[in-house]
Structure 1
């Protein structure tokens, strides 16, 4: 259905903003929940240090980034990946995928136990203070599996006796037919010795309209994208106690409820395995729900030492229905592909971190992590299959000030995976796989030279690892794969050299070069046999040897008192040194540029442009790739009064037909209008 928004209503909302000011008043940095950050001690820097990147609350507002996946697309070295048949939007970081760069909320791991991924389009940003990304060289205090880095979503912490904001928004296609709406509320109070924060959000999309340049196929006509809806609701509650100036204790609860459709394949590729056109899947997720309860504390033991704890319980509920056809009405189990799938996963664990200042020039931190992952799944009418892993990590990180300007950071972790249970039900047979233990040792070192009070140069080397997920070890790939319970650890040595500095009071530059040498990378291998489904069989094996190198450049310049220009460029060169398989989902070139103009004290204009070169979508077929594309976005905002901001804008201004994954095309030209009240 279409939302009942008249052209007059939307046009009026747009006109209110045509004359405009930077979206919302920048958030105070003290609104950041510092207990949720992962710090490298003693370097004189705050996250992100040592080559990392950060999206601030101001940038989330300025560029209207309502989901985490869209927010991360602002940063160098990070590219959005498409949903594909699962309609899961994720990112790559310097070519590492979402399983290799895990996601945390306030330092708590939240990736799905089964496959190690998380659909970043399901995570809204309304309740966040910042997003911090570590690339290549991530603190060992994050725990295991950070082979390519870490993404940390840091929530808000109130600083006033009463504060908050209320926002509403609408979306439409370029015919001004309403197709989406959003509402968010954040309320907080800080009463000195205690504080409380509440965040509520609702984001609903009825679907979207394709570009006029889209060429229709049998599974997708022109106009509205089929089965492209989603609804996401979230509540985030935090209560904290601060008995003195050093100690803090916080209990946090997050509940997300989502549902989504998966647009069918709309390309024209031929399946090389059988010589037939690629068959669309007709999938819907009536439930994509996640619930987290976590406790974080910091207690000063003396003026020079502290102990920090994190305890958590995380639950993931997933329902997937694969229908017979595009009517999305029937599920005939006698056929090969229709099914109703149920996942009920949960994770519990925690970590303890101890830090002490050994001297004026030396700071030591040690941490112990324990994480228990349980995956339970079944198709309708089948018995439940269960898999369980325990992952532990012991880490040490030492920061030594060699001189007033030069810091040496050394760290190491010993990670261990204990497989407790592994089951798979297939063709009427329940298989109990043999379980084993795996381990990895991960040393790293970095030099940081403080070029001034505003910048630093750095050189780092890190040996990182990742354990295979439950899915990679035990999945039968919907009848196309042979499980491999003997799959082992993936490893990489990551090198980076960079600088971040203010050249003048108005110009800041960031530059980095990096090289990643990956071994034992997990790749699908064709076995030369036919699976019971009639498809060629694959198996996940540790055969990959990959090199990944590139550069990142960033520039921000206040050209005048009212005009700011900025942007970043990423070049990525990945080579598969082990076989002819293509490396997928990350383009060689990505460019992002923006301009912010304060036309008057009440009116601001923000324009941005993005370019991505082509990327392969299938490791065995060079003809299946998403072509390069350019996008232009614009936004205008108007400060109606001190606390009320009206804004409107357009995404994909030039109505480009583009895709992150071949055959899965994104939205054409679309408009939005928002109102935000901040107090």
Structure 2
């Protein structure tokens, strides 16, 4: 299969402008990248009735985050862990990564094949803000998103952006960072282009790690990574009623997938030696907004994402003899068109959403292919979305003389949405929404619904509640993965209930409490006791509490403390081997302290305590064995300071400061202490 261009060479244009200025009585419907409408600066009834968290560019820079996964690790109710494929997984309130909907400027970016996304592919330097909406979020995002919505708003060439910015850094184990961007604007246009690169020779094992059959300590075998990205956006205010936006991005990556440590004797046969030796991805998004008159508007977007990947499996830890090569291409393309009408306290939005997902792959098992190398090469890859298949559902496969098998699959998804918001004042409001979904593979249709509301009991105390039913169809991987797919899978149905209470002691000191309950019917997961075939589990239940305290009363210290409790229960009567569900912490405590010291030094200390996590593995008797993953504490430290030269600054960051030894998946140890020092210039 032909790969996308091997060189990073994309010049992109994009058009993102402010909302049109109409007559005095006209309505400002907000920015297209928010998907749900924001009228002016005030949040809507739907936003005020559900739990959401926003992390802006200043907080991200203060944290010293390199990519989106590090940003999301600070969000209450979110558990960031490294899975078996060597990439970060984002779990929200018990749901897995595939249940969250990732948006880039409002446009879907989940992979078409497995519904996942790689947060390492989004550099922190590109992010203007991240909005995480939990659980019963707006239906205007389309089907899926049962766990919640992650909307990444990227930077653009406006007054807030420096004309030129650059950052370079280096750290242990060959760790490096390079960022450069340029931006400009006129009265009617804005433009930005940026490059971001990261890499390392691998990650360190914690000093306390003892030797295992598959790892001798020091630098982790096959844990290297390298990633290069180009992104651009620009814009044009067509006239007072119309704006357009176009973004283009391209990425090249490669990375190693560390193998199992083989510390569980019954688990030795599952060791794998794999690498993503080449991954190229790119995407283009075109969005627009047109105000028909003072109270009506059309808005929407079209997009295309593609990801090409070569994944190799090797005979052993020498990474010389290839035993299997998978050459795949996945695509996502679609559109979201919305019509809005506003009349005083009433806002009505309709949307038609279409997405085509395609995936094609060639799997070859060569008799003997040897290459030179030691498995230390690398990349920290990702992509900006992906897709899968061709045609209208189903799939096919065949073998050729070179011992290869080919497959190709496609799925079309259709959504029709209507949402009504009532907000006579900022003191109270309500939202009701309904949507219809159709999947052309299963010829299956279903519906989602949402009712939410909020009420300010006092000027500083808000009570909110939200009830929702959401639908998620099986992915192409769930349906067609060789020897594991199941074409009879039914759609997952999630019923959400959330109650929230927020109180401000003063504008700089506030607390928030969210109680949630989610029942999931037909949860799709591999059945590890029956050949790892995907099946529908009758019912899972996630319920818990997220509590946060944010204090800015002290002039030299900012305080953020969050506690999350999760009860993740398997209620499937046919699966008595797992009561407490795996890889879902029952307790999480997150703290962040930002200190402002003399000489303009800023320090940030982040700490996370993770408690009561279990995992399961299959023993030689084909029985599921429950193990305690162990409690652990991870501390990160960042120090930054402006330099005497205007626009220059330095920053030093250390992750896993205490060199804690811990695992987030069976036999997969997390990295030890890592550090990086960088210099930044803005003009």
Q: TM-score, normalised by structure 2?
A: 0.85
Tell me which residue corresponds to 1:417: 439
2:642 and 2:295 mapped to 1: Cα distance? 46
> Post-superposition shift, 1:320?
0.6
Listed one character per residue, the Cα deviations across residues 294-336 of structure 1 (whole Å, up to 9, x for unaligned) are 10111111111111120011101111100001110112xxxxx
Structure 1: which 5+ runs fail to align?
A: 1-29, 173-177, 332-337, 420-435, 528-535
Determine if contact 2:568/2:584 at 8 Å carries over to the other structure. Answer: no
Determine if contact 2:67/2:124 at 8 Å carries over to the other structure. Answer: yes
1:350 and 1:96 mapped to 2: Cα distance? 26
1:416 and 1:340 mapped to 2: Cα distance? 34
Determine if contact 2:262/2:271 at 8 Å carries over to the other structure. Answer: no
Q: Which moved further from structure 2: 601-610 or 140-149?
A: 601-610
2:94 and 2:673 mapped to 1: Cα distance? 29
Listed one character per residue, the Cα deviations across residues 140-165 of structure 1 (whole Å, up to 9, x for unaligned) are 11111122211111111222396242
Tell me which residue corresponds to 2:80: 80
From 406, 412, 431, give the equivalent of 1:384: 406
1:499 and 1:184 mapped to 2: Cα distance? 41
Tell me which residue corresponds to 1:362: 346
2:453 and 2:518 mapped to 1: Cα distance? 18
Structure 2: which 5+ runs fail to align?
A: 1-17, 20-29, 365-401, 619-623
Tell me which residue corresponds to 1:38: 35
Tell me which residue corresponds to 1:113: 112
Tell me which residue corresponds to 1:242: 237
Determine if contact 1:522/1:544 at 8 Å carries over to the other structure. Answer: no
Residue 255 of structure 1 pairs with residue 250 of structure 2: yes
Listed one character per residue, the Cα deviations across residues 506-544 of structure 1 (whole Å, up to 9, x for unaligned) are 2121211100011111133367xxxxxxxx624222233
From 558, 562, 566, give the equivalent of 1:568: 562
Alignment CA distance shift 1:396-1:154 (3 Å): same
Determine if contact 2:595/2:602 at 8 Å carries over to the other structure. Answer: yes
From 286, 307, 312, give the equivalent of 2:298: 307
Determine if contact 1:262/1:284 at 8 Å carries over to the other structure. Answer: yes
Determine if contact 1:402/1:408 at 8 Å carries over to the other structure. Answer: no
Tell me which residue corresponds to 1:603: 601
Alignment CA distance shift 1:224-1:155 (3 Å): same
Listed one character per residue, the Cα deviations across residues 634-664 of structure 1 (whole Å, up to 9, x for unaligned) are 2221111442111113221211111221211
1:320 and 1:341 mapped to 2: Cα distance? 5
Alignment CA distance shift 1:414-1:330 (3 Å): same
2:117 and 2:460 mapped to 1: Cα distance? 35
Listed one character per residue, the Cα deviations across residues 108-142 of structure 1 (whole Å, up to 9, x for unaligned) are 11111111111222332211111111111111111
Tell me which residue corresponds to 2:180: 185
Q: Which moved further from structure 2: 582-591 or 92-101?
A: 582-591
Residue 195 of structure 1 pairs with residue 190 of structure 2: yes
> Post-superposition shift, 1:370?
0.6
> Post-superposition shift, 1:453?
7.2
1:500 and 1:643 mapped to 2: Cα distance? 39
Tell me which residue corresponds to 2:427: 405
1:278 and 1:213 mapped to 2: Cα distance? 26
Tell me which residue corresponds to 1:18: none
2:532 and 2:162 mapped to 1: Cα distance? 58
Q: Which moved further from structure 2: 251-260 or 238-247?
A: 238-247
From 451, 464, 474, give the equivalent of 2:480: 474
Superposed CA RMSD: 2.3
Secondary structure in structure 2 of the residue aligned to 1:99: helix
Listed one character per residue, the Cα deviations across residues 474-510 of structure 1 (whole Å, up to 9, x for unaligned) are 1135xxx3x3211110001111111334221321212
From 488, 495, 498, give the equivalent of 2:497: 495
Residue 647 of structure 1 pairs with residue 671 of structure 2: no
Alignment CA distance shift 1:363-1:671 (3 Å): same
Matches within 5 A, 1:492-641: 492-525=494-527, 537-578=531-572, 579-580=575-576, 581=578, 582-600=580-598, 602-618=600-616, 621-641=624-644
Determine if contact 1:257/1:287 at 8 Å carries over to the other structure. Answer: yes
Tell me which residue corresponds to 1:98: 97
Alignment CA distance shift 1:622-1:510 (3 Å): farther
| Aligned residue pair count | 605
Tell me which residue corresponds to 2:337: 352
1:102 and 1:401 mapped to 2: Cα distance? 27
Determine if contact 2:438/2:444 at 8 Å carries over to the other structure. Answer: yes
2:508 and 2:106 mapped to 1: Cα distance? 33
Listed one character per residue, the Cα deviations across residues 534-565 of structure 1 (whole Å, up to 9, x for unaligned) are xx624222233011111011111124211111
Listed one character per residue, the Cα deviations across residues 598-639 of structure 1 (whole Å, up to 9, x for unaligned) are 112611221121111242343763444532210112222111
Determine if contact 1:557/1:564 at 8 Å carries over to the other structure. Answer: yes
From 651, 661, 664, give the equivalent of 1:660: 664
From 443, 448, 462, give the equivalent of 1:437: 443
Determine if contact 1:635/1:647 at 8 Å carries over to the other structure. Answer: yes
Listed one character per residue, the Cα deviations across residues 569-588 of structure 1 (whole Å, up to 9, x for unaligned) are 11101111112235222211
Tell me which residue corresponds to 1:669: 673
Listed one character per residue, the Cα deviations across residues 335-368 of structure 1 (whole Å, up to 9, x for unaligned) are xxx30001111121111011110x2110011110
1:568 and 1:360 mapped to 2: Cα distance? 37
Give 4+ residue runs of structure 1 displaced > 6 Å after superposition: 452-455
Tell me which residue corresponds to 2:418: 396
Secondary structure in structure 1 of the residue aligned to 2:61: helix
Tell me which residue corresponds to 2:226: 231
Q: TM-score, normalised by structure 1?
A: 0.85
> Post-superposition shift, 1:278?
4.3
